[in-house]
Structures are given as structure tokens and as C-alpha cells.
A and B are shown apart, each in its own frame.
Chain A
Amino acid sequence: MKELLQQVINGLSLGSIYALIALGYTMVYGIINLINFAHGDIYMVGAYVGFAVTTSLHLGFFPSLVISMVVCSILGVIIEKVAYKPIRGSSRIAALITAISVSLFLEYGMMYFVKAETRTFPNVLGKNSLKLLDGSVVIDYKNIYIVAITIILMVALQYIIRRTKAGKAMRAVSLDREAAQLMGVNVDRTISYTFAIGSALAGAAGVLVGVYYTTINPLMGIVPGLKAFIAAVIGGIGVIPGAVFGGLFLGMIETMVSAYGGSLYKDAVAFAILILVLLLRPSGLLGRNIKEKV
């Protein structure tokens, strides 16, 4: 029972990180139908920015989180303008190849600058922990930070999407780009906002992972990127609550499989769930199939 509670906390933390990354995949897919395979690498860049800010500038956790989010959002906007915008309207395979190229460019570009070796993230949150149930359940402060920051970011995202003009424009463009244009929405600018926000969330995830798992390297974005993508598909790609649900679901399942079934199986289970969802509910667990009214 206590062991289970401990694992639930770990699952929530991992799931939060997947959810933050999955949001970027799903938002970009929702608006331009592109699977941005470079998204996991933006998260990697976020981790390195956090690393640089804490080790070179000696700033604390929150400044590094904010700076990383800002840098990643700018990077995301530049990637969209330089790589994806010119091929908008081309075939999906062209878009896919471009996304993979951007991904490789970021991975090996980063390797050129920081070398391939693994770095150890400084412990910026201290070693404090919360002991529950007479000390048999230990909640690391790191876990609390991860979950709390994820919740704050998601509330902020929800606010932006529901209440602000930019957010409404994002929803309108993803529902019907041409109709949004007829309302006067600037589609290019709206796509930029989407990349900025999605990339900022990935940047935050990068810093949180650095803090949580303490090691970072230039290829660290590949597997979590893939997992977050799976999470987005499980939840229903293009559906924002789906990304959050899919991320938490996958994080929880992986943690439980690692704890009780052996960590060797966790990736296999992730893919098995993906295949099951694709077979049984291709639009995702929270996805909707809206039929157009004629």
C-alpha cells in the first residue's frame, strides 16, 4: 500500500513531464497538421539552457525555468519560420522529412557545442523531502515542484486558450483556417504563437527533467519525445485535454510496470498500449470524430 503510494507519486511526476511535452505536439498538430519530430529536441535544448543558467550564471531554479521557456519559445518560432513555413502546403512526407531533419540538426548541433558527454544538473532544489505515514512514504520536494509547476502551466495554458484573443485565434485556426482568416485572424502570427507556447512548455519540461533525473545529454530528447508523442496520440492528437490525460496515463503505466513488472518491459507496454488505442479508438481516448454538417 505504502509502496503503491510512492509509485503513484513517481508516476505523476513522470506523467507530468510527458504531458508538458505532449501538449506541444498536440497543439502544433492541431493547427498545422504537422508532427513536429523536433519537439523532443526543443525539450533537450530547454534542459541545456537550464543547465547553463544554473551553472554559469548561478541563478536559481525559477529564473532558469523562465529563461529556458523564453529561449525555447523563440527557438520554436524560428524553427517554424525557417523550416516549416516554406513547405506549408507541400505533401505530408515532405513535412515529415523536414521535421526529422530539424530534429537531427538540433541533436548534432548541440553535440557540436557541448560535446556528447552526459552532464550532471546541479541540485537547485535542495534535498528536502516530505515524510508521510511515519516516514514510510517519502515525497521528494522535486516531485512536488514538478507536479505543482505542471498544474500551474496547464492552468495558464487553459486561460490563454479560453480567454485571450491569441488563444481564441489558435482555436479558430485549428477548427477552420480559412474561416478564421475571414474573421481577420492573421494565420501566420497565430501559428507562431502556437509554436512559442508549445516550445515554452517543452523548455519547462527540460528543466524539470534536469532537476529530477539530474543527468542531461544531447540525445535525451529522443525517447521522451517519442513517449510524449505516443501520449498525445493515446489521448487524441490535436485535443489539448487528451495530451494531458495521455501524458499522465502513460507516465503512470510506465512507472507501475517498472515497479511491479520489471523496467525492461516498460517501453514494450507503452507501444502495446499505443497499438491497442490505434486499433480500437484511432482518434484517441479523448479524441472526437466531429462530422461536418453540410
Chain B
Amino acid sequence: MMIELINVNVYYGIIHALKGISFHIDEGEIVTIIGANGAGKTTTLKAISGIQRIKSGSIMFNGKDISKSSATDIVGLGISHVPEGRRIFSNMTVMENLEMGAFLRKDKAEIKKDFNKVFELFPRLLERKNQLAGTLSGGEQQMLAIGRGLMSKPKLLLLDEPSMGLAPIVVKEIFEIIKDINKEGTTILLVEQNANMALQTADRAYIIRNGEIDIEGRAEDLLKDETVRKAYLGG
């Protein structure tokens, strides 16, 4: 097991956002978490990456409890979180955004190789590397957000709704790239509202409802499941 959440509870003031969530991801997997608005998907990712403190429970990453570690240390351990809404640094260039992704790294030569890897994955970023990130199209911004996330050389990549607000053709492209990233050896936790695409891409899935894991299983099984189809895949 690469990462395991055990009975994790998160509160925002009096709002009980995560109610004893438990799940795990094995090395090399693509696991997806799907669920409606406000179900607690983003909160789950924030808890893992250390920008939202948990009230109780534990988060084990490669055998170590990281639930009290700082966000900085968690990046250093090999978890990279590509946030919902992209959150690229709009006033910095594409290149500077990627440099920020490698913020904690000191291996200059390796960083350079990883820039090239990102540009191979996203050739459109190479053409625009000196452009201000805020001037990119929505799809390009998502590519930049993912590329920036890869620059820390993560073992586990957390993706929060990478398809949000993108045209179907771009969504397809992004999901293909997510599969490629996984094939290169990065484990992926994919949060999505686009349940159909997510289930087609992932190995396993958890469906979260009101802060609790409602259904879990192999992605291809859930795609065929009657209740899942009705509730999340539009019939």
C-alpha cells in the first residue's frame, strides 16, 4: 500500500466535512474519487497534502503517518497536489510556474531533464514557455497545472477535477496524458465530477457522499453497476 487513510475526520468549524473516511491506494494504480458537489472530494485531497489539518484518524504514506507533517515536508516526501481550478501563478511565465513546481529540488541537471519531459508531454507549453500563465487558454492552464505538479517528481499525484470547464476534446486529451503519466510510474489519485471519464481511466474507484465513502470497487464494475449508473452516470 502506498497511501492509506484510516478513519479520517475533518471539520470546518462546525461543519463535519469528512466523516471517518478510509481508503487506500496501491503503488502504480489510478484510483478515482467521484461524488457530487460538496461531498468532500477536495477536502480529502487537502487533508492528504497537509493544507487542511485533520481532527482525527491517520494518513499513512509508505508506512509513515503524515497527518501532522507540514505541507512542505509532504511535497518533499513525494506527494504533489494539482488543485481544483488549476491555481497557476497567473502573473508568472509558464517557465516560472514550472520552476515553482521544482521549488524544493536541488538536483539542477535532473530538473532540466524534467522540464523536457513536461514539454514532451505538453508540447503546447514549450511554444508558450515565456508567456504569462494567465494568458493561456483553460486547457493549457490545466496542462501547466499538471506539468507544474510533475516538476516535484512525485510518487503520488493528486489531481482535483482536471476536466473542469474544458471542452470534451480537451478532456479526452488530458485523460490520455494522465494515463501516460501513470504508465511512466506515477501513482494517481484522480478526483472527478466527470464520473464517466474517470471510471474509464481508473483502476479502482471510491464514491463519496456527504463526507463518507458510499460505494467502492473496480472502476469497470462500477461503470456497469445499476445504482451507480443511475446516480452518477446519468442513467
Contact = CB atoms under 8 A, between A and B. Distances in A.
B103 A171 contact: no
A175 B85 contact: no
Contacts of B165: 294
A289 to B, nearest CB: 12
Interface in A171-216: 171-172, 175-176, 178-186
Interface residues of A, number: 20
Interface residues of B, number: 30
Given A168-B99, A178-B87, A293-B141, A183 B92 contact: no
A165 B91 contact: no
A182 B83 contact: yes
B87 A171 contact: no
A290 interface: yes
A179 B96 CA distance: 14
Interface string A156-180: 0000000001001101100110111
A292 B89 CA distance: 11
B98 to A, nearest CB: 10
B91 A182 contact: no
Contacts of A183: 75, 100-101, 103-104, 148, 152
Interface string B81-109: 10101111111100010011101100000
B138 interface: yes
A165 B111 CA distance: 15
Contacts of A178: 51, 83, 87
A175 B75 CA distance: 20
Contacts of B9: none
A290 B87 contact: no
B123 to A, nearest CB: 22
B72, B101, B165 — which one has the most chain A CB atoms within 10 A of its CB?
B72
Nearest to A175: B89
B71 A181 contact: yes
Contact of A185 (B80, B86, B103): B103
A293 B83 contact: no
B100 A172 contact: yes
B28 interface: no
Contact of A179 (B72, B87, B104): B87
Interface string A49-80: 00000000000000000000000000000000
Interface in B156-212: 165
Contacts of B49: 182
Given A182-B49, A185-B103, 12 more contacts: A171-B89, A171-B91, A172-B92, A179-B83, A179-B88, A183-B75, A183-B101, A183-B152, A184-B76, A290-B90, A293-B90, A294-B85
